[in-house]
Amino acid sequence: MSLATDAADKPTLYKRIRADIEKRILTGEWPPGHRIPFEHELVARYGCSRMTVNKALSELAQADLIERRRRAGSFVRRPQHLSAVLKIADIRAEITALGRAYGYELIGRKLRTATAADRDRLGVKKAGKVVAIACRHSADNVPFAVEDRLIDLSSVPDAATADFSREPPGSWLLHHVPWTEAEHTISAIVADDRAAEALDIAVGAPCLVIDRYTWRSARTITAVRLLYPGDSHRLVARFKGG
Amino acid sequence: MSLATDAADKPTLYKRIRADIEKRILTGEWPPGHRIPFEHELVARYGCSRMTVNKALSELAQADLIERRRRAGSFVRRPQHLSAVLKIADIRAEITALGRAYGYELIGRKLRTATAADRDRLGVKKAGKVVAIACRHSADNVPFAVEDRLIDLSSVPDAATADFSREPPGSWLLHHVPWTEAEHTISAIVADDRAAEALDIAVGAPCLVIDRYTWRSARTITAVRLLYPGDSHRLVARFKGG
DNA sequence: TTGACTTATATGTCTAGACATATAATCGTG
DNA sequence: CACGATTATATGTCTAGACATATAAGTCAA
């Protein structure tokens, strides 16, 4: 019987507070920039202790839905563009799932102290050790993608001794290192001599480029550039919306 | 004077507890499946109250780094698969959000009975009416993307009379038609004569292509192809792991 | 052996306080 | 008016308890 507002079942109080606020943000009732009620106001409204509303607000802040500023209050954060779920699986899994034979070839692997370019690419300031890896993935013996990767050893010490001659670094990392944030940048280029040779395509042919950066908290794990032949490969994202 | 482990500066206690645990997980000292110390053990180790370690563990759980089970304890989670939220905003909103001047130009608009090619593109069998739209988006008066769109009028009758000379069809649809499913296909091509002229780039220059199909229930709403200059435009997707 | 019941226990939620800290607003002074 | 010092206040962190709840593990009967 849904007679009352929504105290029907019985989620815990802080979850209800969180859900209430979340709903108002998502429906646009509280637009970006809107100041949500102060903790003491919510305490009064829900008749609970401050720690309870604090927990609700802290979780909303952790989820980037709101921003909290001392002395000023808590505010609805800006973004909320049209968002979609894009699944970019581990390449080995992707090819295997397509029912094609996966091939992997390690082209090069170097362990070095981070150069200025490496630090710039990883977005770190201190010069620690890194592993640079170049490799090629193929499907049914046809080049599928070339990979150029940098792994920060201060974040992933085990990568120094991992055997990447048989297991692709992407798969290895996925199974050994949890990540909290990542960023993909997708762009297009035309193949230069080196790319053309590695992918067995013509110089000047279009290539799809995916630059992926992965972090654990604020710490960089790895930066990878994947080059796909653009006319044969397609990145498909299917998702549900609202 | 970094003599101790890392109590040098002074993050709050619960953050230090969280960081300590996180580090052990990252280094592999506590592999997936490992049971981390019970709250009361951490309370003893850090000499604090249970709420403090609870906050640290709760955040690690919210970040999916650990899994907490009543009566059993807290366990290191297996690293998650790579599935991500890709944000592809409405182009007008995207450019505006960048703080650049949005420009829009309708190149052509045709209302016609669906041709075989149209039906194929929309994935429909019956020959209904469609609107074909070609337009160009610019940022600070520089071509940003060209759009080639087909709208199924049997799904969106209002589109027949909508004024697309001022409002881009993407924004119009986003605000008038709810969608339930969409699919993006991203690929790379080199510019042909027509694309080169529209985007003001050289013939043979790389272009990023996004083909987007949108449905409501099983009904096609629209199919659109967006062409971006590949060397200047980047599609950025930032997301949280899970 | 299997299933049902009981118990012990780790986490989940909550309270009513406390002090710390960053900072928006205000006040004073040059 | 400009600028530095002061103050008020909202959030940040923490405590020492409490009771709730799910469930692993043990117990006992069929």
pLDDT given for residue B1 in this prediction = 35
Distance from CA of B44 to the nearest CA of A (A): 23
Dist. CA A88–CA A237, nearest whole Å? 8
pLDDT given for residue B3 in this prediction = 31
The dihedral over CA atoms of A46, A52, A54, A60, expressed in degrees to the nearest 10, equals: -80
pLDDT given for residue A5 in this prediction = 37
Residue A196 structure tokens:
């053309």
**H-helix or E-strand spanning residue B14:** helix B13-26
Among B194, B190, B193, B224, smallest CA distance to B207 is for: B190
Mean pLDDT of B109-137: 92
Judgement on whether residues B44 and B111 belong to the same structural domain of the protein: no
Judgement on whether residues A103 and A217 belong to the same structural domain of the protein: yes
Dist. CA A211–CA A23, nearest whole Å? 34
Judgement on whether residues B67 and B99 belong to the same structural domain of the protein: no
**H-helix or E-strand spanning residue A213:** strand A206-216
Residue A129 carries which side chain, given as an amino acid letter?
A: K
Domain assignment present for B82: no
Does B22 contact A at CB distance below 8 Å? yes
Which residues are CB-contacts of B73 (< 8 A; sequence separation ≥ 6)?
B35, B36, B38
Domain assignment present for B111: yes
Of B211 and A59, the one with more pLDDT? A59
Does A29 contact B at CB distance below 8 Å? no
Mean pLDDT of A140-151: 94
CATH of the domain at A47: 1.10.10.10
Quickly state the pLDDT bin for B5 (edges 50, 70, 90): very low
Which residue, of A76, A99, A115, is where some domain finishes? A76
Judgement on whether residues A31 and A145 belong to the same structural domain of the protein: no
pLDDT given for residue B27 in this prediction = 73
Helix ranges, B39-183 (H) = 39-46, 50-62, 91-97, 116-122, 169-176
**Closest-approach residue (CA) in chain B for A179:** B241
Judgement on whether residues A107 and A71 belong to the same structural domain of the protein: no
ipTM over 0.85: no
Domain assignment present for B81: no
- Residues A123-132: pLDDT tens digits? 888 888 999 9
The CA–C1' separation of B38 and D18, in angstroms, is 20
Domain assignment present for B20: yes
Residue A26 structure tokens:
């998502």
Judgement on whether residues A190 and A133 belong to the same structural domain of the protein: yes
Which residues are CB-contacts of A113 (< 8 A; sequence separation ≥ 6)?
A127, A128, A129, A130
Judgement on whether residues A175 and A55 belong to the same structural domain of the protein: no
> How far, in Å, are A78, B46, B231 from residue B50 at the CA level?
35, 10, 54
Structural domain including A221 reads 91-229
Judgement on whether residues A154 and A192 belong to the same structural domain of the protein: yes
Dist. CA B73–CA B35, nearest whole Å? 7
Domain assignment present for B240: no
- Residues A95-119: pLDDT tens digits? 886 778 999 999 999 999 999 999 9
The CA–C1' separation of B134 and C26, in angstroms, is 58
Domain assignment present for B2: no
Residue A3 has pLDDT above 50, yes or no: no
- Residues B6-32: pLDDT tens digits? 333 467 999 999 989 988 887 778 988
Distance from CA of B82 to the nearest CA of A (A): 6
pLDDT given for residue A102 in this prediction = 93
CATH of the domain at A220: 3.40.1410.10
Query: Could you say which nucleotides of strand D lie within 7 A of any protein CB atom?
Result: 8-18, 21-24
Judgement on whether residues B218 and B109 belong to the same structural domain of the protein: yes
Q: Taking all residues of chain B, what is their mean pLDDT, rounded to a whole number? A: 83
Domain count, chain B: 2
Residue B138 has pLDDT above 80, yes or no: yes
Residue B112 structure tokens:
């016609």
Domain assignment present for A178: yes
Dist. CA B220–CA B225, nearest whole Å? 15
Mean pLDDT of A51-68: 92
Q: Are the C-beta atoms of residues B152 and B224 closer than 8 Å to each other? A: no
Judgement on whether residues A66 and A159 belong to the same structural domain of the protein: no
The CA–C1' separation of B74 and D29, in angstroms, is 34
Which residue, of A48, A76, A104, is where some domain finishes? A76
pLDDT given for residue B234 in this prediction = 62
pLDDT given for residue A85 in this prediction = 44
Q: What is the DSSP letter of A128?
A: -
Domain assignment present for A154: yes
